[in-house]
């Protein structure tokens, strides 16, 4: 029998998140009794993080006191419906998806399970390194009011900080994280490709201090941290950048620059950082580039038709 307050835990999902959270719960004194997944391609990951923990069928995972559903957002709803017949009254079922709150677990709660949505706002590698990174991370918590103390205790056992997010706010919360983190990766990768055209392998070293300062400034001050040609209203510079990016870095990078320059001009104008005439000039430079791009695509289409 487990000591008071310790739970038998089962993890459903052997991706980068589930085994790490199972290991964090084990380190907190809980007993991980099994891990379930559709395929067992992650044997090495699971063995490294949860040595000796047996593989079980998803239905058997519901013999545990606490079931962690660490599966993709789009899989969670159908999985909850499939596993509902195996849920037990008083059992705690936690999912780790950012998009969903607890409503997605309704088939399980109808059977008496207690639902919790706990989403760590961090990137997982699926290795033991994540256990250290959990310490100090923020976890979005969505639970019924009676379960707030239990959810907070679990999160703090991971070494993380719980932050409440209302059920109806989960989609915008998750969209904000995806927009900031995932699109930041795309933006930086495009900047690296363009910088390599000029400074080759030194591109990361050139960009790192600038990007780090920009990120810290944006987190502290929002649009007030904006610098560069858009913030100064240098429409000619913006136009020159768009031309050279299209020629040297590709149409995709130039299109991203154009889109973000237009948005940046609008935000700078709204914040009083850029007078309307200067903002309009930047917008005109972006519009001119976009018109040229559409015309070029039309010409390419006509040429392809002629060749066909």
Half-sphere exposure at residue 74, Cβ-oriented, CA atoms within 13 angstroms:
0
The pLDDT of residue 258 is 95
Whether 285 and 242 have beta carbons less than 8 Å apart is answered as: yes
Residue 10 token pair: 């089962």
The pLDDT of residue 5 is 72
Q: State pLDDT tens for residues 34-71.
A: 999 877 778 888 999 999 999 999 999 999 999 999 99
Q: State pLDDT tens for residues 243-285.
A: 999 999 999 999 999 999 999 999 999 989 899 999 999 999 9
pLDDT band at 308 (very low <50, low <70, confident <90, very high): low
What is the spatial distance between Cα 28 and Cα 153, in angstroms, rounded to a whole number?
11
The pLDDT of residue 4 is 55
**What percentage of the chain reaches a pLDDT higher than 90?**
88
Q: Is the pLDDT of residue 304 over 80?
A: no
Residue 303 token pair: 């040429």
Q: Which candidate, 124, 121, 128, 123, places its Cα nearest to that of 45?
A: 128
The pLDDT of residue 3 is 56
Residue 84 CB neighbours (<10 A): 17
Q: Is the pLDDT of residue 2 over 60?
A: no
- Can you tell me whether residue 55 is helix, strand or coil? strand
Whether 258 and 230 have beta carbons less than 8 Å apart is answered as: no
Residue 228 token pair: 């560069």
The pLDDT of residue 43 is 87
Q: Indicate the DSSP class of residue 143.
A: -
The pLDDT of residue 202 is 98
Q: Is the pLDDT of residue 306 over 80?
A: no
Q: Is the pLDDT of residue 15 over 80?
A: yes
The DSSP secondary structure of 81-100, one letter per residue, reads: HHHGGG--TT-EEEE--SS-
Higher pLDDT, 297 or 196: 196
What is the spatial distance between Cα 104 and Cα 95, in angstroms, rounded to a whole number?
10
- Could you tell me how many helices (H) and strands (E) the chain has, helices first? 14, 7
Q: State pLDDT tens for residues 102-152.
A: 999 999 999 999 999 999 999 999 999 999 999 989 999 999 999 999 999
The pLDDT of residue 6 is 87
Q: State pLDDT tens for residues 189-220.
A: 999 999 999 999 999 999 999 999 999 999 99
pLDDT band at 1 (very low <50, low <70, confident <90, very high): very low
């Amino acid at each position: 029998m487990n000591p008071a307050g310790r739970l038998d835990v089962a993890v459903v999902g052997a991706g980068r998140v589930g085994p790490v959270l199972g290991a964090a719960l084990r380190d907190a004194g809980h007993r991980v009794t099994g891990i379930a997944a559709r395929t067992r391609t992650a044997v090495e990951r699971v063995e490294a993080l949860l040595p000796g923990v047996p593989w079980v069928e998803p239905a058997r995972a519901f013999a545990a006191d606490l079931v962690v559903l660490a599966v993709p957002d789009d899989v969670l709803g159908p999985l909850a419906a499939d596993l509902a017949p195996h849920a037990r009254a008083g059992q705690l079922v936690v999912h780790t998806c950012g998009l969903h709150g607890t409503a997605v677990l309704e088939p399980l709660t109808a059977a008496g399970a207690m639902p919790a949505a706990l989403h760590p706002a961090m990137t997982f590698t699926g290795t033991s390194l994540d256990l250290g990174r959990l310490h100090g991370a923020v976890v979005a918590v969505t639970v019924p009011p009676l379960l707030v103390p239990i959810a907070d205790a679990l999160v703090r056992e991971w070494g993380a900080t719980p932050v409440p997010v209302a059920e109806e706010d989960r989609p915008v919360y998750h969209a904000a994280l995806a927009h900031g983190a995932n699109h930041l990766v795309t933006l930086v990768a495009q900047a690296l490709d363009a910088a390599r055209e000029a400074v080759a392998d030194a591109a990361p070293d050139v960009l790192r201090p600038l990007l780090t300062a920009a990120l810290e400034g944006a987190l502290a001050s929002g649009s007030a941290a904006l610098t560069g040609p858009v913030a100064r209203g240098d429409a000619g510079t913006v136009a020159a950048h768009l031309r050279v990016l299209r020629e040297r870095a590709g149409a995709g990078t130039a299109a991203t620059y154009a889109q973000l320059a237009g948005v940046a001009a609008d935000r700078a104008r709204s914040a009083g950082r850029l007078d309307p005439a200067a903002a309009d000039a930047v917008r005109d430079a972006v519009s001119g580039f976009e018109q040229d791009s559409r015309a070029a695509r039309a010409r390419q289409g006509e040429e392809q038709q002629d060749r066909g």
